[in-house]
Structure 1
Amino acid sequence: MTAIGPDATAPGSPLLKNLLGERPLTQIFLFVGVLAAFGFLGQTMATNMGRVGITPGFAFLSRPSNFEIGETLIAYSSQSSFARAILVGLLNTLLVSAVGCILATILGVSLGLARMSENPLLSGSVRAYVELIRNTPLLLQLFFWSATFHALPAARKAFEPVAGVYLSNRGIYIPAFRFESGAAEAIALISLAAALLLPLLRRRFALSGRIVATLSLAGFFLVIFTLASTGNLRAEIPSLKGFNITGGLSLTPEFAALLVGLVVNASALIAEIVRSGIQSVPQGQWEAARSLGLHRGLIFRKIVLPQAMRVITPLMTSSYLSLTKNSSLAVAIGYPDLVSIINTAANQTGQALETILIMAAVYLTISFAVSFAMNRYNTRYALKGLGR
């Protein structure tokens, strides 16, 4: 039968009409006009930049940056290129975003479960926490945490809430592992090999997810024990010596304030996501499972959680993306993230358009990568069994 309606394509219609619909010539002229307008604006901008001695393009990335960066994960100096400076900012952004997503998930899930507690004091406290955090601006929260960390006492009078952990206005000092003689590279290579081989072994021998997780955990502890026994891995605990704290891992006040602010803010939203996901499972599922004699933990793990994940996972994707993009507020408290370093580069070079394009491309890439990973997880695990 021939389709009838406004969306139907008339037999024998021209190719342009099939591609562009009604009035194809009008759409073509409009498209060409938009391209011409953008071309004119680009030419005008290039002319104006040339008058003030600025050459359009990305050649500035190879020039020395001539500014220092307080926190770097890779080697950097003022003589390094702008490209390396931007890479430093990108790594700082990825670090705080990755650690923030992990900690926010742990705290948010815990709060979400506590929110559903039958203890009115516990559930009420979590509800007050969620309402307070969700109804105040994130920027205000970052200012609060920044002021809090800078108000801590000096290093010689630092707080020590637990043994080996110091809180001072110079930063937070926590125990850390130190790798020697290429141990870090060895762990990275072993982890990469395990990530490639375990899925193959799982399909080849039809191993369950629990067995694969157990093997992974056992292999990890075996590698750590081997490195520790050979002296290539050692624990380093901070200690107060004179007027300074030495040893361990030092987190600057700016990094700590940004991380805590992002985690606290995101955890409030994640707590509500977890609560709504669990409550989306019909009460009859709980009652049916109890009638079979299953205890509460098994009911939650085997029946409720798999169904709740279908609701939780898409919303968690949005939370992770929001946390990553909100890390750009680091510029307000002095943490050298991607936005802060690109702003400095733009001010020194005058290449505002190019630096904005770089920033947009980086954040789009990060967002697409997070969305792709979460969508794969949602399709493979959270939505598993919907078609059965």
Structure 2
Amino acid sequence: MANDLALNPGSRGSLRGRSFGLLRDPWVILLSALAALGAAWAATGTAPAAVQALWHWSPALLRGMGVNIQISVLAMALGTAAGLAVGALSLSPSRLLRRLTRAYVLLFRNAPILVLVYFTTYVFPFELSAGRWTVPFPDWIKVVIGLGLPASANVAEIFRGAIQSIPSAQWEAAQSLSLRRAQIFRMIVLPQCVRRMLPSWMNLYASITMSTSLASLVGVHDLVDTATVASNTVARSDFTILVYFTLLALFFAYCYPIARWTRYLERRHEHH
């Protein structure tokens, strides 16, 4: 084989390309690492104490990940609803509305997410009172609002860009058919906007999901907070390393398929 490689340098390059292609796939690296760990534990006959502790804490960690996913879904739903409204207003004929929406987008797109999370947590009241009724205002809802604000600003920009990317000839052709502006918007523009917005929207959702890790800083019992409690309870350095690697793996396992699907949609949109 060495002689073949010497006689055909191109085969060496293709072999190297295939090897690096495998190494570039994170799933191959992750599965190889897990297989190596499994082989080591099988040789010793027992799992290390840190792994046993991780198995004990795994239900709590999964519940914490569920809290992060819940916050991300609600924040993205809130941000999408508000962003679509702001994006539509940014195309209003009124100069005042355009300026106000532009100021909103610039403010919340450029504000640090951690500052917004702290702002909504400590500025908003801890409970809402209406007459004799008092309703608690939990911290996780404030985090949803804190993450929904930058999400709405980004969705507004994505929506505005998608609308402006529609060729003006389509508007003119629809107007020549005596369609009203609302009908053009609903029947012609919006279906195309959804397809053009989806990759950017999914990228934004993955970013918001990763930002939910900030919720632990304001007392929300999410995945990061659970990992911290577990680390302090077990009080072993090897377990601390393992539990935070597990935290990274859980976020990766949730966000990586979203990133791959986003790339697929982007390539599909380019071909169309």
- Whether TM-score is above 0.5 comes out as yes
Q: Distance in 2 between matches of 1:293 and 1:57?
A: 71
Q: Distance in 2 between matches of 1:295 and 1:105?
A: 25
Q: Distance in 2 between matches of 1:10 and 1:372?
A: 34
The one-letter amino acid of 1:332's match is L
The one-letter amino acid of 2:69's match is L
- Cα distance change on mapping 1:21 and 1:355 into 2, 3 Å: closer
| Counterpart secondary structure, 1:335 | coil
Q: Distance in 2 between matches of 1:336 and 1:361?
A: 19
Q: 2:245 aligns with which of 353, 357, 381?
A: 357
1:60 has 2:59 as partner: no
1:348 has 2:233 as partner: yes
Seq. identity, %: 30
Show structure 1 runs of 5+ residues with no match.
1-8, 25-38, 40-54, 64-81, 161-165, 167-238
Q: State TM-score, norm by structure 1.
A: 0.54
Equivalent residue number for residue 228 of structure 1 = none
- Aligned-pair distance for 1:87? 1.9
Identify which of structures 1 and 2 has the higher relative contact order when contacts are C-alpha pairs closer than 8 Å and 6+ apart: 2
Q: Distance in 2 between matches of 1:294 and 1:122?
A: 25
The one-letter amino acid of 2:59's match is R
The one-letter amino acid of 1:88's match is R
Q: 2:224 aligns with which of 339, 345, 350?
A: 339
1:367 has 2:255 as partner: yes
The one-letter amino acid of 1:314's match is P
1:103 has 2:78 as partner: yes
The one-letter amino acid of 2:252's match is L
> RMSD value over aligned CA atoms?
3.3
Equivalent residue number for residue 147 of structure 1 = 122
- Aligned-pair distance for 1:293? 1.4
1:308 has 2:182 as partner: no
| Counterpart secondary structure, 1:293 | coil
| Counterpart secondary structure, 2:129 | coil
- Aligned-pair distance for 1:18? 5.3
- Aligned-pair distance for 1:84? 2.0
- Aligned-pair distance for 1:159? 3.5
- Aligned-pair distance for 1:369? 3.9
CA deviations on 1:69-101 (whole Å, 9 max, x unpaired) are: xxxxxxxxxxxxx12221221111111111112
- Cα distance change on mapping 1:354 and 1:21 into 2, 3 Å: closer
Equivalent residue number for residue 133 of structure 1 = 108
Equivalent residue number for residue 296 of structure 1 = 181
- Aligned-pair distance for 1:284? 2.0
User: 1:19-168 maps to which residues of 2 (within 5 A)?
Assistant: 19-20=14-15, 55=48, 57-63=50-56, 82-150=57-125, 158-160=128-130
- Aligned-pair distance for 1:143? 1.1
CA deviations on 1:105-141 (whole Å, 9 max, x unpaired) are: 1111111111111122222211111111122211111
The one-letter amino acid of 2:242's match is E
- Cα distance change on mapping 1:279 and 1:361 into 2, 3 Å: same
User: 1:184-199 maps to which residues of 2 (within 5 A)?
Assistant: none
1:326 has 2:216 as partner: no
The one-letter amino acid of 1:342's match is A
CA deviations on 1:305-324 (whole Å, 9 max, x unpaired) are: 23333431111111101111
- Aligned-pair distance for 1:274? 0.5
Q: Distance in 1 between matches of 2:80 and 2:67?
A: 20
Q: Distance in 2 between matches of 1:11 and 1:283?
A: 59
Q: State TM-score, norm by structure 2.
A: 0.76
- Aligned-pair distance for 1:282? 1.8
| Counterpart secondary structure, 2:111 | coil
Show structure 2 runs of 5+ residues with no match.
20-32, 34-47
Highest CA radius of gyration, 1 or 2?
1
Aligned length: 238
Q: Which has the higher helix share?
A: 2
CA deviations on 1:144-203 (whole Å, 9 max, x unpaired) are: 1111224x5xx6xx433xxxxx9xxxxxxxxxxxxxxxxxxxxxxxxxxxxxxxxxxxxx
